[in-house]
Amino acid sequence: MSGTLLRDRLTPAVRMGLSISIAVGAYGISFGALSVAAGLNVWQTMVLSALMFTGGSQFAFIAVIGGAGTGAAAWAAATLLGIRNGIYGMQLKALIRPPASLIPLMAQLTIDESTATAVAQNDHDERVRGFWTAGVGVYLLWNTFTLVGALAGDAIGDPKMWGLDGAAVAAFLGLLWPRLTSKDPIAIAIIAAIATVMAIPLVPPGIPVLIAAAVTAAVWGWRHYWRRSAS
């Protein structure tokens, strides 16, 4: 009986959210260790994971501090990398239509993984379950592992050795895959991937996603306009 209930609760979106939480959350250990090595104390490290809670920006912040940069430069780097979360918020609002009362909490959990898990689903309830499972799951694991990393320092080793970076690759591919059902989305995916590869060496981390989004929107806009003028 309880087995059936559990299986009913573990919908595809929930399973995706849990898997991606584990693959990504464990990386908190790297962040915690690197942050303390960069000169932040354990409290400052935990404030970044608990309040800033957007991995790319957190790594950028401590990289600037570790490289003897100023607090203002660290703020600017972190802020630049966080801009994509604003785009994610628009996307999530368009797809989920959350009640206003939930938006303050949803905003805090709006990151790559929760957005990707939500938008990869096909119906409203699954999107909602995907968002919350990945958002809360990554939040809890990311903060727990940040603390472990900050306290243990380099003693634990690199999560790369367990292939966790490869797990993240497969996790994102698994979210994209069900969308590649016809020529149009496959073409869009290829264009976005090429735009990303070209942007990586040219702009700071975190910006290539924005460039890929802009290119995707431009391709869509061009096709949209062309179809309208053709009919």
Partner 1 sequence: MTLGTWVILAALTAYIIKASGYLLPQAWLDRPSVTELASTLTVGLLASLTTLNTVADGQALVPDSRLLSLLAGGIALKLKAPYIVVVIVGALAAALGRQVGLA
Q: Does 119 bind partner 1 (CB under 8 A)?
A: yes
C-alpha separations of 13 from 10, 121, 130, 219 in Å: 8, 7, 5, 29
Q: Does 114 bind partner 1 (CB under 8 A)?
A: no
Q: Does 173 bind partner 1 (CB under 8 A)?
A: yes
**Residue nearer to partner 1 on the CB measure, 1 or 60:** 60
Q: Does 88 bind partner 1 (CB under 8 A)?
A: yes
* DSSP secondary structure string for all residues of 71-132: HHHHHHHHHHHHHHHHHHHHHHHHHH---GGGHHHHHHT-SHHHHHHHHT-SSHHHHHHHHH
Q: Does 141 bind partner 1 (CB under 8 A)?
A: no
Q: Which of 37, 87, 136, 152 binds partner 1 (CB under 8 A)?
A: 87
- CB 5, min distance to partner 1, A: 19
**Residue nearer to partner 1 on the CB measure, 116 or 128:** 116
**Residue nearer to partner 1 on the CB measure, 153 or 221:** 221
- CB 19, min distance to partner 1, A: 5
Q: Does 132 bind partner 1 (CB under 8 A)?
A: no
Residue pair 156/149 in contact (Cβ under 8 Å)? The answer is yes
Q: Which of 68, 90, 155, 230 binds partner 1 (CB under 8 A)?
A: 90
Q: Does 175 bind partner 1 (CB under 8 A)?
A: yes
Tokens (6 digits) for 57: 């920006």
Q: Which of 85, 129, 134, 146 binds partner 1 (CB under 8 A)?
A: 85
Phi then psi for residue 74, to 5 deg, are: -65, -40
Residue pair 117/20 in contact (Cβ under 8 Å)? The answer is yes
